Structure 1
Amino acid sequence: MKTHLALLRGINVSGHNMMKMDALKKALENIGFKNVRTYIQTGNVFVDTEEENAASVGFQIKQEIFKTFGHEVPVIVLKKEDLEACFTNNLFLKSEGCDTKKLYVAFISKELASTAINDLKMSQVKPDDAQIDSNRIFIKYAVGAGKTKFDQKYIEKKLSVTATIRNWNTITKLLEMYAE
């Protein structure tokens, strides 16, 4: 069995795409996923399956959400190594006096070239800062996530990708849950 982490974008936010995690868990178990567990209400779902291919797992989850709840929800599936890379490759963590409350990670639907940072036009969102690392964008907000235009929609528009963002506390907890 392989454990996959599915990040669902845009559920239970501002009254949109509402679904209870217990109902989601049951729906995913009904299509054969094992050991389904969730973390908070915003769509972090671990599943165990014989399926190795992350894209296939994401497609199955996306289909079942649409069938059961009627929501078209983007799904990005990660491996444990993707979360571990958040700790080893994030240069913002290495800076003196790093405030992890202002650190976020945007998980992207495809691998990005390091030159994609130019496409983000960071001068338009200063003083926020970002670093691209494969299929992740490490973000350091100057004030906070609620007061920036450098959000998931901005990233998706500039890079023509699907993205979902998690705060540093969530990243930390999800990595801990992989070990459980």
Structure 2
Amino acid sequence: MSRTQKTWIVLFRGVGGDTLLPVKPLREALTEAGFDNVRTFINTGNVVLTSGDRPEKIIARIAPVVLREFQFAKAILVADLAEWQRLIDENPFPADVPQYLHAFLMEREPAAEAVEALRAKVRGTEQFSIRGRVLYYYTPDGFSNSRLHTKIERTLGLSVTARNWNSVLKLHALASGLQSPRAGS
């Protein structure tokens, strides 16, 4: 029995530099793998699609495709549209200068001890807040001047992938569009 189709946002960790996931071939490969309404957003590993599968199964279906087609073997993180909406709604930081705000999607909620270890590494004006499996990272002096972001994944001990706030909002708009009657077009 098939589950109800849901809209999912799929984020690939570590895309950029030597690791590429070209959007058109990625979209085609995931469509051929049986996913519906596959949309891609820029070459940094962002996909929106619909599926009746649970997150674990979506990842298990996508991982061999991207390994075979693109030699991609890094973490894949998935959130449904409702979780992405909460990610936006629960943002505790100013979003009026979106280049200073990033959302890190984590594979799971981190342990309290790991969060405290990360908190001890904060320097300067940068700040973070964790809500569930989302880490909000605010860098009022600019992301390139921050130092914490390179320590987040290692300190928390789990896979994470970050998107700037503009990308968060664009992925939400793309995913929300799949909910409309024109989603299949």
TM-score, normalised by the number of residues in structure 1: 0.87
The Cα offsets for residues 48-100 of structure 1, whole Å up to 9 and x where unpaired, read as 1221x112102221221001111212110011122212232122138xxx533
Identical counterparts, % of pairs: 24
Rounded to whole Å, the distance in 1 between the matches of 2:121 and 2:14 is: 27
Structure 2 contact 114–155 (Cα < 8 Å) conserved: no
Structure 1 contact 116–132 (Cα < 8 Å) conserved: no
| Aligned partner of residue 137 in structure 1, secondary structure | strand
Structure 2 residues without counterparts, runs of 5 or longer:
178-185
| Cα distance change of structure 1 residues 103 and 72 upon mapping to structure 2, 3 Å threshold | same
Alignment of 1:5-154 (within 5 A): 5-11=9-15, 13-14=16-17, 16-51=18-53, 53-93=54-94, 98-113=96-111, 116-151=114-149, 153-154=150-151
Which residue identity lines up with residue 103 of structure 1 in the other structure? L
Structure 2 contact 40–46 (Cα < 8 Å) conserved: yes
Structure 1 residues without counterparts, runs of 5 or longer:
none
| Aligned partner of residue 29 in structure 2, secondary structure | helix
Specify the alignment match of 2:182 in structure 1.
Answer: none
Note the C-alpha offset of 1:113.
5.0
Number of aligned positions between the proteins: 173
Note the C-alpha offset of 1:116.
4.4
Structure 1 contact 87–93 (Cα < 8 Å) conserved: no
| Aligned partner of residue 72 in structure 1, secondary structure | coil
Give the alignment partner of residue 172 of structure 1, picking from 156, 169, 173.
169
Rounded to whole Å, the distance in 2 between the matches of 1:159 and 1:130 is: 13
| Aligned partner of residue 93 in structure 1, secondary structure | coil
Rounded to whole Å, the distance in 2 between the matches of 1:62 and 1:124 is: 34
Rounded to whole Å, the distance in 1 between the matches of 2:21 and 2:76 is: 15
Specify the alignment match of 1:3 in structure 2.
Answer: 7
TM-score, normalised by the number of residues in structure 2: 0.85
Say which structure, 1 or 2, has more relative contact order (CA 8 Å, 6+ apart): 2
Bigger mean CA deviation after superposition, 140-149 or 30-39? 140-149
